[in-house]
Amino acid sequence: IKFFDFGQTDQGDLYIAMEFVDGKPLADVIENEGAMSFERVDRILKQISGSLHEAHEKGIVHRDLKPENVILTTRAGEEDFVKVLDFGIAKRNDAADAAKEQKLTQAGMVLGTPPYMSPEQFTGKELGRRSDIYSLGVMAYEMLTGKLPFKANTPWEWATQHMTVQPHPFEETNPMASQIPPHIKEACMRALSKDQEKRQDTAKAFYLEFKGGGARQSVTQVPGSAPMSLGGQNSATEAFVAP
């Protein structure tokens, strides 16, 4: 999102003037339409990965990547033009942010949205770009199947799932997912590794692995399952006390 200006009014109110984006959250698309075609997922992931890669190159970790923070809009007649939003709890790799992070960790605070948080986020460990790549893997899985790779209801249940339980196989989540090319599933599962060292090193590497030879294969529409109600998922950004 472009920022144009900031300042303070005569009445003392602080303001930020920024770009207005007329679009809809990716979360709404998944909820209403279910699983997406590989072609559409590829188009959206390419842009999300590019935005993340740029942020990571500047030393910024998003920490709250989720479908609600990805807006699909139209630009110059091109649909599904992506805007990655809400770097509100983003972390910079500098001394000031490191000090702030240490205070939060000492207080037992963990920031993020549980269904999309990496295992290391729940432990209060220092986060790097591979934490965002895990969240990106969750989103890719959800776009391809219409459902999340784990099931839970509370932050503590989500923590257990992300830290100790393997993701549901694609076909178990959506039987039609058998039509998804193997290299796409492998890229997503690698991004969902519990050990961050086993994930792709960069968002760009994730996308290149995801794309693989897919561009040379025929694009197959993966029929969506019944729309998933997000009401049962805790999709709000949360701060809670770690055990």
Which one of the listed residues 5, 10, 64, 86 is annotated catalytic? 64
The strand pair at 78-84 and 70-75 is best described as: antiparallel
* 98's tokens: 């490191």
64 part of the active site = yes
Give the Å distances, CA to CA, from 159 to 67, 90, 193: 19, 20, 14
Phi-psi region at 108: left, alpha or beta (left = phi > 0; alpha = psi -120 to 50): left
Q: Where are the beta strands (DSSP E) in 45-152?
A: 60-61, 70-75, 78-84, 91-92, 109-112
DSSP-based three-state secondary structure for 112 = strand
**Calpha distance 180→38 (Å, rounded):** 8
The catalytic residue positions are 64
